[in-house]
Chains A and B, each alone.
Chain A
Amino acid sequence: MSPAPADRAEICVVACAEAFRGNGEILGAPIGIVPIIGARLARATFEPDLLLTDGEAHLVYGTWPVGEPPSGATEGWLPYRAVFDVVWSGRRHVIMTPSQIDSYGNTNISAIGDYARPTVQLLGVRGAPGNAVSHPTSYWVPKHSRRVFVPRVDSVSGVGWDNARKAGPAATEFMDLRVVITDLGVFDWETETRQMRIRSVHPGVTVDEVLAATGFPLIVGDEVPTTREPDETELRLIREVIDPHGARYREVKV
């Protein structure tokens, strides 16, 4: 019997996995449940050389359920102290979850409103400024809306193309923004203008829906592809091995 068709959360998982395609032997650093499932799926299928951590200080092999300790061998040690060495070496691809993102890929995880006295204080910039100018960086937005996709971010944590260009070659030399994955589609940046464009919409989502949920104009090609669906192997891995308890639905309601 063939498995039930993929739902939106599972489409998002595969879109996150696809972000790591071709990355080879570097550290995958997914932040958020769906990106974590996606990274483990990528390694279990088409990206076997990817390195992943247990969320603490160990590099581990294997494919194990989210929320549980890893079952595979520990292949190395990566305490916070060493993380920045990896970041600055460029051997890492992070997927972060921004509270705001704009057309040039500036992201905000620090403070909403006036920086001096924010309306809403968030986490702080964490490693976002360094990630963006050092190595492949992607973003995950579980709920695509005008609250998140804003004309200008209130303050810049993750550096976008325009601000990097203004800052000069030291900022742009290793900058490598890859994709934005949301519950509606996948996005990247047009090479010339560096403005965000629709790369694909998820099955069942229209371009108009995406445009209406975005607080700035998106670049739309003549043909907008549909995000690929997981195959049977991928569905089985997601449902039975990596996320048997449905943690993915905490981020993407279906």
Chain B
Amino acid sequence: MRDKRMTEDEVVSRLRSGMTIGVGGWGSRRKPMSLIRAILRSDLKDLTVVTFGGPDVGLLCAAGKVRKLVFGFVSLDTIPLDPHFRRARQTGAIEVAEFDEGMLQLGLYAASIRMPFLPTRVGLGSLVLDANPDLRMVANPYGKGEFVAMPALHLDVALVHMNRADAAGNAQYLGPDPYFDDLFCAAAEQAYVSCERIVDTEELTRHAHPSTVRISRMYVTGVVEAPNGAHFTSCVPDYGRDEAFQRRYVEAAADPASWSAFVREFLSGDEADYQRAVAALAAPAAKES
């Protein structure tokens, strides 16, 4: 069995400015945040980001890493809108390609099965066609009607965070929803999976059905053990969303000074520094209780 273990920084060393990067998870749920934080520490820029957006988008926008966002929405779930994403749009700082979320799924699926496009009626009559002038239509060859030819969304890189994985990259979700993480991996040239814990392969299915091992190692380039790596997004059943921290993230976006203070406190060191700073926030509360 190949050992694909590596660190976040090793993953980021394989990325290049200008790449198209797909980010797994959904909204503020099971986002590969430790990998995102590693990108924030890097010199990477001009990225095209494809995602069911959450704070991954906000953080990358705030750090000026995004040239173009391919998205259907950006939300923090319990807080409907991400302030950094809003600012990036309202100042014209990023390009966007906005699609219905179902079209994103189709585009990733098309890339994963090496089809140039898949037909759909979704998008017809909506801003999706105006905002994406390159979208082409396809005539129904068997009957009436013109459909949207949703192009394959090819990714240079996929970044996802799962609950467990083995060292070869077989990766497992243990929460309620796999989201689209396996599709992101299958649509990418290189796929990197971070996870809460790397375990022996037997461990993956000792208490869980094999269907929870949603990502097969044949799609995976590298595996990163990243405990609490999805923080502050949810990663159930390992942990829920850190709502207090998410609020802090949103409040810090209010002005440049408070954002610099947030960056100084949490994002100026490495991942271990981040996790220590987060743990330090929780510590006084733990003492009181």
Contact = CB atoms under 8 A, between A and B. Distances in A.
Interface string A58-94: 1000000000000000000001110010011000000
A81 B179 contact: yes
Interface string B129-152: 011000000001000111100000
B125 A121 contact: no
A110 B127 contact: yes
B179 A80 contact: yes
A168 B98 contact: no
Contacts of B147: 170
Contacts of B86: 120-121
A171 B125 contact: yes
A167 B127 contact: no
Contacts of A117: 89-92
A23 to B, nearest CB: 21
B126 A124 contact: no
Given A88-B102, A116-B92, A130-B103, A80 B177 contact: yes
B176 A57 contact: yes
Interface in B102-143: 102-103, 105, 120-128, 130-131, 140
Given A88-B122, A117-B92, 18 more contacts: A57-B176, A58-B176, A80-B179, A81-B105, A84-B101, A117-B91, A118-B90, A121-B81, A121-B85, A124-B75, A125-B73, A128-B126, A130-B103, A133-B124, A155-B127, A167-B125, A171-B121, A174-B121
A151 B90 CA distance: 23
B219 interface: no
Nearest to A158: B126
A42 interface: no
A126 B100 contact: yes
Nearest to A159: B125
B227 interface: no
B99 interface: yes
A111 B89 contact: yes
A126 B100 CA distance: 5
Contacts of A219: none
Contact of A156 (B101, B122, B127): B127
Contacts of A155: 127, 130-131
Contacts of B71: 124
Interface in B170-223: 176-180, 183
Nearest to B80: A123
B126 A123 contact: no
A123 B75 contact: yes
10 contacts: A84-B102, A88-B120, A124-B53, A125-B73, A128-B126, A129-B125, A130-B121, A133-B122, A134-B121, A169-B145
A169 B144 contact: yes
Contact of B105 (A84, A129, A132): A84
A170 B147 CA distance: 6
Contacts of A118: 89-90
Instruction: Point out which of B75, B92, B122 has the most chain A C-beta atoms below 10 A from its C-beta.
Output: B122
A195 interface: no
Of the candidates B81, B121, B125, B144, the one having the most CB atoms from chain A within 10 angstroms of its own CB is B125
Interface residues of B, number: 45
Contacts of A122: 81
A209 interface: no
Interface in A215-232: none
Interface string A116-151: 111111111111111011100000000000000000
A133 B89 contact: no
A130 B122 contact: yes
B177 A57 contact: yes
Contacts of B98: 110, 124-125
Contacts of B127: 110, 115, 125, 129, 155-157
B100 A127 contact: yes
Contacts of A87: 102
A163 B125 CA distance: 5
Contacts of A174: 121
A127 B101 contact: yes
Central interface residue in A80, A87, A119, A159, by most chain B CB within 10 Å: A80
Interface string A159-186: 1100110111111011000000000000
A87 B103 CA distance: 12
Given A124-B72, A133-B122, A173 B131 contact: no
A127 to B, nearest CB: 5
A56 interface: yes
B39 interface: no
A158 B127 CA distance: 9
A111 B69 CA distance: 15
Contacts of A134: 121-122
Contacts of B178: 79, 81
A57 B24 CA distance: 17
A127 B180 contact: no
B72 A126 contact: yes
